[in-house]
Chain A
Amino acid sequence: MESHVGASYQVARRPRRPARYWIARAVLYGVLILFALYVLVPFMWVIFTALKSNYEIAQDPLGLPPNWRFENLAQAWNQGKFSRYFINSVIVTVPIVLLVVSLSCLAGYGLARLKMPGRMLIFYFFLVGLMVPFTAIMIPLFYILRDIGVLGTYWAMILPQTAISLPFGIFFMRAFFSGLPYDLTDAAKIDGCNDFGVFRRVMLPLAGPAVAALVVFNFMGSWNAFLLPLIYLQSDKLRPVMTGMMFFTTRWGPDYSMSMAGTLIVMAPIMAVYLVFQRQFIQGLTAGAVRG
């Protein structure tokens, strides 16, 4: 009987799956959905809390907001001075990313493709920097930045954040340039290009995806940096979003709706950008682990 049924279905275009298959599917999806909920539920509660009044939170901390108070966001935006903090974050992040990417491309290319005595030594010298945590240098850096007179300016974050990001950038770009075929450069050289010309005209255009990954990686690194601006960018006029958010949310400690509204304001743009440029984000943030 069973064999008969089986045989008759083998003729059909879509074989009917056994019940076991569907149960396995259901369990599989159940597990996947469970983990998705683990991720999403906290976000949901952040949004709910942000859009309630504190009284409504105390009445019903879990449920949907009885009135969706979007004005909370406006209030948090103004009280938290987030417009200033966002501008500050952009002002420090853009130069950091530009500097890290350009310096890493140059040095990565140089260390990968150009002849110079001590090349490997220089490379290892940079590599050691990958292992030095920021905490190990944060104390004297404060005094160095003070003595060169940049504390109190955006440079107090731009310079050290660039420097601590270089080892990885160089490591990453060197690995990339090393992997490119040599005949490309040879051909260009025969055509009369000098080293810089080869770099700019031939190699750099090929480096698009690697550069994009490095941009995302460093953008996230400096946008999300916390300890560094906490120590070096203390004036409220210079404060970037992350420390600004800390000062706002802990200041309004028991004011849960304001503090969650502030958190939502900070989270929303980065999540929106992520949802749009998902592939680039994932590639950029995992670049080190996948390729290195």
Chain B
Amino acid sequence: MTDSIRQVFANRKLRDYATGYAFVIPALVMYVIFVVYPFFYTIYLSLTKWDGAKPVKEFVGFLNYERLFADPRLWSALSHNLIWIVLGTVTPVAIGLFLGVLLWRGLRGMVFFRTVYFLPVVLAPVAVGIIWKWMYNPQFGPINSTLRAVGLDVLAKGWLGDPYVALPALIFAGVWGYFGFCFVVIMAGLQNIDMEQIDAALVDGANGPQRLWYIIIPGLRHVLTMITAFTLILGVNVFDIIWITTRGGPGRATHVIATYTYNTAFRESYVGYGSALAIVMGTVSLVVSFIFISIRERGGD
């Protein structure tokens, strides 16, 4: 026994390998126990019917998956995710780009604006949700109160209580908490753009939009794909801000896949079906990431 260990250490190559693994193994163990194993466990649970408490998990094959396809709540939740992803990505990136280009060449007060814009980014999504729940409060909330104060009573509404408005209203709150992030990242990206190119374009008589389209955006390609990736993942996973404000309501108007999964598995105790939903969510996330990575690889430098 000790001999063989000594042999291993006598062999320089093996000793190097052992050192390498020693660096990696602690992280690997944590990762396998608390991420990889649970993932496969979710797959297993998704093939069972279980209330989370009975000693027996009844194996039902793909029954839960068959139910998924006929479940209108799943499809409405996924469509809300899609809306969140599209609006929640395009808006903050557009605002960030707009402000970034405005502030690009430096300006007095630049630090102030950056500090302010980034301020909500440090807040937890839960705090953002609570703040905006108050902003949208129909009776005393600042938004309706302001509208009434300036005589626009007709526009005052129960923002989060109106199924047609609730989701966009929440996305607006999300953008408030997030556009500063896009702004700062885009600013960092702009620093790497070749000024000479811009000057050359100016000489050639390129107007603003042309410069933006042909030089700035291609120059920001890398940064923009990174932000899009971040925002996409956030859009697939969004939970906190919804749970703290509407819990998926009114009706199903703001349910997304994460709130639906949580509700099913933990509040209604449909653990098997909830796991199947979790697998849907994992799959969506994997597919989105994969598409994103392949886009990045193709356009990568």
Q: Which residues of A are at the interface with B, using a C-beta cutoff of 8 A? A: 28-29, 31-32, 35-36, 38-43, 45-46, 49, 57-58, 61-62, 99, 103-104, 106-107, 109-111, 114-117, 119, 122, 126, 129-141, 143-144, 159-160, 162-164, 166-167, 170, 194-196, 199, 220, 223-224, 226-227, 231, 242, 245-246, 249-250, 256, 259-260, 263, 266-267, 270-271, 274-275, 278, 281-282, 285-286, 288-290, 292
16 chain-A/chain-B pairs, Cβ below 8 angstroms: A29-B109, A32-B109, A61-B141, A62-B146, A104-B27, A116-B17, A136-B279, A137-B41, A144-B37, A163-B33, A167-B31, A199-B23, A231-B266, A242-B127, A267-B123, A285-B122
Q: Find out whether the CB atom of B141 lies under 8 angstroms from the CB atom of A39.
A: no
Q: Find out whether the CB atom of B244 lies under 8 angstroms from the CB atom of A246.
A: yes
Which residues does chain B contribute within 8 Å of A114, judged by CB atoms? 16, 19-20, 23
Instruction: Flag B113-144 by CB within 8 Å of A: 1 or 0 each.
Output: 11111111111111100111011010011100
> Is the CB of B223 closer than 8 A to any CB of chain A?
yes
Q: Find out whether the CB atom of A289 lies under 8 angstroms from the CB atom of B226.
A: yes
Q: Find out whether the CB atom of B115 lies under 8 angstroms from the CB atom of A275.
A: yes
Q: Find out whether the CB atom of B230 lies under 8 angstroms from the CB atom of A224.
A: no
Q: Find out whether the CB atom of B237 lies under 8 angstroms from the CB atom of A140.
A: no
Q: Find out whether the CB atom of A285 lies under 8 angstroms from the CB atom of B181.
A: yes
Query: A98 to chain B: closest CB distance in Å?
Result: 13
Contact with B127, one of A104, A164, A199, A267 (Cβ below 8 angstroms): A267
Query: A133 to chain B: closest CB distance in Å?
Result: 5
Instruction: Flag B254-285 by CB within 8 Å of A: 1 or 0 each.
Output: 00011001100110000100110011011001
> Is the CB of B83 closer than 8 A to any CB of chain A?
no
Which residues does chain A contribute within 8 Å of B243, judged by CB atoms? 226-227
Q: Find out whether the CB atom of B278 lies under 8 angstroms from the CB atom of A139.
A: yes
Within 8 A of A (CB), among B200-238: 223, 226-227, 230, 233, 236-237
Q: Find out whether the CB atom of B244 lies under 8 angstroms from the CB atom of A109.
A: no
Q: Find out whether the CB atom of A133 lies under 8 angstroms from the CB atom of B237.
A: yes
Q: A46-B131, A117-B17, A286-B185 are in contact. Are A32 and B113 (CB under 8 A)?
A: yes
Q: Find out whether the CB atom of B120 lies under 8 angstroms from the CB atom of A39.
A: yes
Q: Find out whether the CB atom of A195 lies under 8 angstroms from the CB atom of B142.
A: no
Which residues does chain A contribute within 8 Å of B38, judged by CB atoms? 137, 140-141, 144
Which residues does chain B contribute within 8 Å of A45, judged by CB atoms? 134-135, 142
The docked-state distance in angstroms from the alpha carbon of A38 to that of B175 is 11
9 closest residue pairs by CB, A with B: A110-B23, A136-B282, A116-B20, A163-B34, A224-B124, A140-B41, A114-B20, A107-B27, A137-B38
Contact with A106, one of B24, B112, B279 (Cβ below 8 angstroms): B24
Q: Find out whether the CB atom of A196 lies under 8 angstroms from the CB atom of B19.
A: yes
Q: How many residues of B contact A (CB 8 A)?
A: 93
Q: A62-B146, A166-B31 are in contact. Are A136 and B134 (CB under 8 A)?
A: no
> Is the CB of B10 closer than 8 A to any CB of chain A?
no
| Interface of B (DSSP majority class) | helix
The docked-state distance in angstroms from the alpha carbon of A224 to that of B176 is 17
Q: Which interface residue of A40, A135, A170, A271 has the most chain B CB atoms within 10 A?
A: A135
Q: Find out whether the CB atom of A32 lies under 8 angstroms from the CB atom of B103.
A: yes
Q: Which interface residue of A42, A136, A259 has the most chain B CB atoms within 10 A?
A: A136
Contact with B118, one of A62, A195, A263, A282 (Cβ below 8 angstroms): A282
Q: Find out whether the CB atom of A164 lies under 8 angstroms from the CB atom of B126.
A: no
> Is the CB of B239 closer than 8 A to any CB of chain A?
yes
Which residues does chain B contribute within 8 Å of A116, judged by CB atoms? 16-17, 20-21, 24
The docked-state distance in angstroms from the alpha carbon of A259 to that of B236 is 29
Which residues does chain B contribute within 8 Å of A163, judged by CB atoms? 30-31, 33-35
Q: Find out whether the CB atom of B27 lies under 8 angstroms from the CB atom of A103.
A: yes
> Is the CB of B154 closer than 8 A to any CB of chain A?
no
Which residues does chain B contribute within 8 Å of A134, judged by CB atoms? 237
Contact with A57, one of B119, B123, B140 (Cβ below 8 angstroms): B140
Which residues does chain A contribute within 8 Å of B42, judged by CB atoms? 136-137, 139-140
Which residues does chain A contribute within 8 Å of B227, judged by CB atoms? 289
Q: Find out whether the CB atom of A138 lies under 8 angstroms from the CB atom of B37.
A: no
Query: B207 to chain A: closest CB distance in Å?
Result: 15
Contact with A290, one of B31, B123, B185 (Cβ below 8 angstroms): B185
Q: Find out whether the CB atom of A135 lies under 8 angstroms from the CB atom of B230.
A: no
Q: Find out whether the CB atom of B135 lies under 8 angstroms from the CB atom of A259.
A: no
Q: A140-B38, A249-B130 are in contact. Are A290 and B278 (CB under 8 A)?
A: no
Q: Find out whether the CB atom of B31 lies under 8 angstroms from the CB atom of A36.
A: no
> Is the CB of B26 closer than 8 A to any CB of chain A?
yes
Instruction: Flag B33-66 by CB within 8 Å of A: 1 or 0 each.
Output: 1111111011011000000000000000000000
The docked-state distance in angstroms from the alpha carbon of A136 to that of B43 is 9
Q: Which interface residue of A31, A122, A220, A270 has the most chain B CB atoms within 10 A?
A: A122
Q: Find out whether the CB atom of B20 lies under 8 angstroms from the CB atom of A119.
A: yes
Contact with B26, one of A107, A160, A167, A256 (Cβ below 8 angstroms): A107
Q: A103-B27, A136-B282, A231-B266 are in contact. Are A245 and B117 (CB under 8 A)?
A: no
Who on chain A is nearest to B40 by CB?
A140
Query: A147 to chain B: closest CB distance in Å?
Result: 11
Q: A195-B19, A224-B125 are in contact. Are A107 and B24 (CB under 8 A)?
A: yes
